[in-house]
Amino acid sequence: MLVTVVVLTVVALGGCVSRRGGEDQHETVPARPATFADVVPAPVQATQTPGVTFTIPADPTIITMAGSTEAAHVGAYLADLLGGATTREGTDPVSGGVALLLDPTVGTGEEYQLEVNAGGVTIRAGTGVGLFWGVQTLRQLMPAQTRAPVPVPGGRIVDAPRFAYRGVMLDVARHFFDVAAVERLIDLVAMYKVNYLHLHLTDDQGWRIAVDGWPRLTEVGAATEVGGFTGGYYTEDDYRQIVEYAADRYLTVVPEIDLPGHTNAALASYAELTCDGVAPAPYTEIGVGFSALCPTSDAVGRLIDDTLGELAELTPGPYLHIGGDEAPTLNADDYATIVDRAQEIVARDGKTTVAWQAVAADAAPSTVLQYYIDDQDVPALLGAATAGTKVIMSPANHAYLDQKYDPQTRIGLTWAGPTSVEEAYGWDPATYLPGVGEEAVLGVEAPLWTETVTTVDDIEYLMFPRLSAIAEIGWSPASTHNWTAFRQRLGAQAPRWTALGVDFARADGVPWVAA
């Protein structure tokens, strides 16, 4: 479906005010060189050296740590950004180029240090992922066009993430998005050090992953989406391709099979998954809470076993998400029968379960719970967190990217919003839920549900800039949290997004730097 957007632009003195839902009074400021204060997410320490600039020359030299395939991989990524480079192995900083050096004293995880002086750039980290995040920071210190020669301001950054899990979720069930769309999304979110991609693969309106032995899940279950009959699905190879593409950018895929509710597409495919043996019609509306797998059906046990078993095999990351949200048609025992079975199978296959908060009362100790709403399940979630359960924070009124920015936004839901950029940024994962403190929080995730999202432009419009706000909340120390500084940093992303063709919302309240 093509959505036509009417853009009315009014040029005002010294800036521009345009109107497109969510962007009523947007502000544009003149182009300026990138600074160390512009990096999103804000680093732990960033100190610019006044008066020093290093220009990465055309056809620069990139030194990658001798003997390290990880460093070589990150070097190739950087060479690509620079439009070509001569890459060779070494162990020391390089004059006139960029060195990517492994140094265990920097850390053993995602930490990195970046130094730019008049002679060159040096990034040090204990791991490949640390080097990769260092390159993402370097990218933000360059002009939007990163093809060398490019100037980089001098200075030093010491950086490490606050939380281990910084996720984005794409709902490919309500509307399907192909592999290329997902790859583009991965490229964009990697810029903000997002390290988990949660794919919501199944829901009432569509089943999006092929499962051996269950052909009707894709023949019937994948044939629909919200508003009609143009669905789609990933073959096993498609899924592998997404997983690999993500891994190349240090993102881990978390696949979700939503059960026992949100399962109309599966029920429509196989009558034996229902209790009355009658397959319901396909569903293309956006209501929730009406469907459920039958707890006493043998076929349901087999479906869970086969689907989660296959995903466990295809997914190198540690997590499988089993959904668990909104199944009001089942009583507590029947609900528990199904989510217990799913958790057992995930554990059998050596993975860790992630589930929406509704699973809290039935959660195995190792299950990670995803919080999104203040409802009747919160007391059980708090109890589990006190007993050591880890929580991913996705409060819908701050972190749900599917909510409109303001009532005029052309797409989006409103039940938890509207959510301005300032509201997306305005919370702290470790104090949001009293009883779920810093230690209990595994991290944050920004879900993009796609009931109203039909195109890649739609994805980008709802995702940017708010995803960058959630990414910063997940990465940056609480001490850096400051809306006035953040809005400046965020505004500096505009030329980058423009250069990449990202259809971001020039949301109110942010001084958008001109391209």
**Given the rule CB under 6 A, which residues bind ligand NGO?**
288, 325-326, 356, 372, 400, 402, 413, 449, 451
In the bound state with ligand NGO, the residue whose beta carbon lies nearer, of 159 and 402, is 402
Residue nearest to ligand NGO (CB): 449
Q: Taking the complex as a whole, how short is the minimal distance between the CB of residue 403 and ligand NGO, in angstroms?
A: 7
In the bound state with ligand NGO, the residue whose beta carbon lies nearer, of 110 and 451, is 451
Q: What is the rounded CA–CA span in Å between residue 147 and residue 135?
A: 14
Catalytic residues: 326
Cβ distance 113 to 124 under 8 Å? yes
Q: Taking the alpha carbons of 73, 200, 304, 222 in that order, is the dihedral positive or negative?
A: negative
Residue closest to 80 by CA, chosen among 95, 101, 62, 64: 62
In the bound state with ligand NGO, the residue whose beta carbon lies nearer, of 176 and 250, is 176
Q: Taking the complex as a whole, how short is the minimal distance between the CB of residue 391 and ligand NGO, in angstroms?
A: 14
Q: Taking the complex as a whole, how short is the minimal distance between the CB of residue 431 and ligand NGO, in angstroms?
A: 22
In the bound state with ligand NGO, the residue whose beta carbon lies nearer, of 142 and 293, is 293
Q: DSSP letter string over 192-252?
A: TT--EEEEE-EETTEE-B--TT-THHHHTTTS-BTTBS----B-HHHHHHHHHHHHHTT-E
Q: What is the rounded CA–CA span in Å between residue 149 and residue 285?
A: 52
Specify the DSSP element, H or E, that contains 124: strand 120-125
Residue closest to 426 by CA, chosen among 395, 447, 392, 463: 395
Distance of CA 310 to the CA centre of its chain: 23
Q: What is the rounded CA–CA span in Å between residue 218 and residue 239?
A: 14
In the bound state with ligand NGO, the residue whose beta carbon lies nearer, of 121 and 399, is 399
Q: Taking the complex as a whole, how short is the minimal distance between the CB of residue 234 and ligand NGO, in angstroms?
A: 19
Tokens 């009001």 belong to 328
In the bound state with ligand NGO, the residue whose beta carbon lies nearer, of 111 and 451, is 451
Output the six-digit token pair for 310: 């296959």
Q: Taking the complex as a whole, how short is the minimal distance between the CB of residue 171 and ligand NGO, in angstroms?
A: 6
In the bound state with ligand NGO, the residue whose beta carbon lies nearer, of 94 and 448, is 448
Q: Taking the complex as a whole, how short is the minimal distance between the CB of residue 226 and ligand NGO, in angstroms?
A: 10
Q: Taking the complex as a whole, how short is the minimal distance between the CB of residue 325 and ligand NGO, in angstroms?
A: 4
Residue closest to 97 by CA, chosen among 68, 66, 123, 71: 123
Question: What are the start-end ranges of the H helices in 377-482?
Answer: 378-386, 396-399, 421-425, 456-463, 466-475
Residues across the chain? 515
Output the six-digit token pair for 51: 């008066």
